[in-house]
Copies of this chain bind each other. A is one copy, B any other.
């Protein structure tokens, strides 16, 4: 029933607590969920909108640590910290679920099986983040887009169902949307991908040649 992918960290955190223990926070644009230095009291999940985690660095300049989109959790590390180390500010009007730290902690000691589920959810999150990070090591925009598609492709023929706008995907890729569109256009021209409404299909490298295009002389 949740609008989150069921095996995401956020979904598992929510599922762990009875709904009665979870409260909802409505935030105007610019409002703070918490501030650097506040006592750490909860873990959060963005239900709608977008929340920025920022901190003032030692030299006085602001530093963005993370931007949590709808469906993502943030401030999980507050479980082990006494105080928040950054500000959490709504980038747009947002709705945030509040998962009290105390409830989560007692749950973990009370119910080891559940605690284990947590650990595993975090481990998956670590795996996913590492893959996203590795993706950024691909320098060429074209190859990076292709790698992103490969990461999510399955089926035969391998294909990806898009659930977000390319504009948003471009952000995840660390490219401008223009660069992404150009990369897609080139990949399509070279017959390395196919596009039909919201589905991208990957071409097996198969036999080489074909995408040689015209060449001089």
- A115: chain B residues at CB < 8 Å are 108, 112, 115-116, 119
* Across-interface contacts of A130 in B (CB, < 8 A): 65-66, 129
One of B58, B66, B136, B151 near A158 (C-beta < 8 A): B58
What copy number does this chain have within its complex? 2
Q: How many residues of A contact B (CB 8 A)?
A: 53
Is residue A36 contacting chain B, with contact meaning CB distance below 8 A? no
Chosen A-B contacts, 23 in total, with CB atoms closer than 8 Å, are A58-B158, A59-B153, A60-B204, A63-B150, A65-B130, A65-B131, A66-B133, A67-B134, A76-B123, A77-B123, A77-B126, A77-B127, A80-B124, A105-B116, A108-B112, A108-B115, A109-B116, A115-B115, A122-B122, A122-B126, A129-B129, A132-B133, A136-B136
